[in-house]
Structure 1
Amino acid sequence: MTAVALEHSVPAAPKRIWNVVRLHVANPLATLVVPWAITAAIFILNMAIFLIVVQAAGGAENLEPDAFQYSGGITWIVWFMTVVAVQAMNLTFSFALGFAVTRRDFYLGSALYFVLLSVMYATGLTLMAAIEKATGGWGIDAAFFAPWGLQDESVLTLWFLYLCTMLLFFFLGAAVATVWVRWKAYGLYAFFVGLAAILVVAAWLITTTESWGDVGEFLTTTPLPWLAAATLPLTAVCGVAGYVFLRRATPKS
């Protein structure tokens, strides 16, 4: 009977992983409220600027074609997902371990939460892009949710692009967060110095081999879904790195 009681007192691994997801949801401000609130604020600010320009020009018909098609306002949310991941993991790691959650379950639960967030944000942004297109760019041919010609892509392509991008930056943030949890500031210094070194070496190789033209051609001729899919291996590397870093991490004040 004791063995049976012990078996039932320990939740199954899937349940423990799902409990980590619930732990993240318990503090929804950073991951579910703030990103949407800031996005709404940036959108309203952009629209106000667009309308001021339209009024100053005496009407949208007096503006150059595609005058409002290249706004970069929505790109902020992609980068902010890295911050969201860092905050989510750093704020809940010690608390989760206090409830006897293993590091493995904590990381898998956090990873599942980031996947769910990626799906949610990709779906929400794609829905707004569809509304934007259906309304003729909010009546003034503006492109906030699908800039740089993305409104010409299919809804599925746009959703997949947002999904892959969100996943990449979430798991990049997860890797950064685990470096911070394990090695604190010195770990982050080493991480970003190493990342900068990789980028500089890559730029040097492209320059010395005179391959910038090939890079530009690849980016402009490769179908968008393939470009989005090309980020998935890097996302997987970030995910694995985060798990490896967290395995021996201990909460520190």
Structure 2
Amino acid sequence: MTRVRDVARIQLVNWPALLAYPLAFVAAMPLLGLGIDLSNGETATGPHAVYLLPALWGMAATGHLQTMTQVFPFALGLGVTRRRFAAATALVVTAQALLLGLVLVAFGALERATGGWGREARLFGPGAVREDGPVTQWLAHAGPIVAVSAVCVLAGVVFQRWRQTGVYLAVLGSAAILGGFGALVKARNWWPSIGAFLGGQPSLTLFAAGPLAIALAVGGVAWLVLRRATA
């Protein structure tokens, strides 16, 4: 375990992308939300959501893409095994998500205490999560970050294994699969049933367990590719 922590410290050389930039974005979200409200002509006459959390997920995950494309070759040169590097990556992803989730819970509490930043805005409480307890909120905030980070890790591993060609093919293949699935669901008129099913799930299932399952599946694929990736 000590060796895994050492490899995790190597990855934290990229700490600005992993921690500093996402935390700065969280701190700026109330001002960004105000700017969006003003540009949309919001008059704060009722509760409304400002969807900035997906941007945070992407910003937090980008650092792990850089880890796989820049830190991984360096670590291999130091004699780090792929297994330990993968374990360290999982450790860093989890720690980052839990830390950011804790910060988001704190900002959510401040949001509620200020009446939605004085204008009934909701930036830090996705859906019904704002009504749950702090532990559920914490896990619900961390879950999507882990899932998106796993996707970025896989993208970085694909680049290391097959370079730009692999990334282009992966993007095109994913778009084709998602497009085909969307067309099938529309043709079968399944969207109302899917919406009703997702809407009936508890917060822990929808925002924590579901994203964790996605992360484990994507992480498993990333490990299979990583075993053959070179520097």
Q: List structure 1 runs of 4+ shifted beyond 6 angstroms.
A: 51-54
Corresponding residue for 2:221?
241
Please identify the structure whose Cα radius of gyration is greater: 1
Corresponding residue for 2:23?
36
Q: Structure 1 CA distance, aligned partners of 2:93 and 2:20?
A: 15
Tell me the TM-score normalized by structure 1: 0.83
CA-atom RMSD in angstroms: 2.2
Measured against aligned partners, the alpha-carbon deviations of 1:14-65 in whole angstroms (never above 9, x if no partner) come to: 22211111012223111111112233334323235557999x95xxxxx432
Q: Structure 2 CA distance, aligned partners of 1:102 and 1:147?
A: 39
Amino acid at match of 2:200: T
Q: How many percent identity over aligned positions?
A: 29
Q: Structure 1 CA distance, aligned partners of 2:157 and 2:36?
A: 40
Aligned partner (choices 108, 123, 133) of residue 144 of structure 1:
123
How far does residue 220 in structure 1 lie from its aligned partner after superposition? 1.8
How far does residue 161 in structure 1 lie from its aligned partner after superposition? 1.3
Corresponding residue for 1:169?
148
State whether residues 160 and 230 of structure 2, in contact with CA within 8 Å, keep that contact through their aligned partners in structure 1: yes
Amino acid at match of 1:245: V
* Residues 1-253 of structure 1 aligned to structure 2 (within 5 Å): 14-48=1-35, 50=37, 63-66=44-47, 69-148=48-127, 150-228=129-207, 229-251=209-231
State whether residues 143 and 151 of structure 1, in contact with CA within 8 Å, keep that contact through their aligned partners in structure 2: no
Measured against aligned partners, the alpha-carbon deviations of 1:168-209 in whole angstroms (never above 9, x if no partner) come to: 011111111100111110110111112112212211221232
Taking a change above 3 Å as real, the CA distance of residues 50 and 208 of structure 1, as seen in their structure-2 partners, is: closer
Q: Structure 2 CA distance, aligned partners of 1:232 and 1:48?
A: 33
Size of the aligned set, in residue pairs, is: 230
Gaps of 5+ in 1: 1-13, 58-62
Gaps of 5+ in 2: none
Corresponding residue for 1:10?
none
Q: Structure 1 CA distance, aligned partners of 2:61 and 2:39?
A: 33
